[in-house]
Structure 1
Amino acid sequence: MAKPFGFGCTQLGDGTVTITHRGRTAGTLRGARAKKFLGEVESGDAQLVMARWTGAYKFGNERLARNHPRNR
């Protein structure tokens, strides 16, 4: 799959799905969870789905928080 945000996934022969982020394993799904994940990937934006399932996504306020006087 394309990796503009650094996410990728591979499906193994036994049905296990491994999600990677920038080359490192971010999560492993098996059974019903793997099937549900694959269904969501096919129906939506794969990168956003993988980010949501791994919890490795940003909320959009990081830049503002970094520039706040309290955080300098």
Structure 2
Amino acid sequence: MPKPHGFSYEQFGDGSVVITHQGRAAGTLRGARAEKFLAEAGAGDSQLVMARWTGAYKHGNERAARNHPRNR
């Protein structure tokens, strides 16, 4: 599976975090969720972490979905 790319995040003074994908806002985290995200992003592959937190990651069924009649 290809690794996600194009994600970045910015932390603000009020503790909120905005995750962007290719320059467009993909999610905003505040409070405890923002702290948990920052701890996780600093520990591993940040692109994969941001993709997972925004829900913009592959689920593994894309090849099967391509062959479904509604997608032809």
Aligning the two structures, in what range does the TM-score lie when normalised by the shorter sequence? 0.7 to 0.9
1:31 shift after superposition: 1.1
| 1:13 Cα offset (Å) | 1.3
Q: Unaligned regions of 5+ residues in structure 2, if any? A: none
Matched residues in 2 for 1:33 and 1:59: separation?
A: 22
Are 1:49 and 2:49 counterparts? yes
Give 3-state SS (helix, strand or coil) of 2:56's partner: coil
TM-score normalised over the length of structure 1: 0.81
In 2, Cα distance between equivalents of 1:43 and 1:37: 10
Where in structure 1 are there 5+ consecutive unaligned residues? none
* Superposition pairs of residues 7-46 of structure 1, within 5 angstroms: 7-46=7-46
Q: Deviations over 1:19-56 (max 9, x none)?
A: 00111111111111111000000111101110111101
Distance 2:15 2:59 in 1: 31
| Matched-pair identity in % | 71
TM-score under structure 2 length normalisation = 0.81
State the 4+ residue runs in structure 1 displaced beyond 4 angstroms: none
Q: Distance in 2 between matches of 1:31 and 1:14?
A: 9
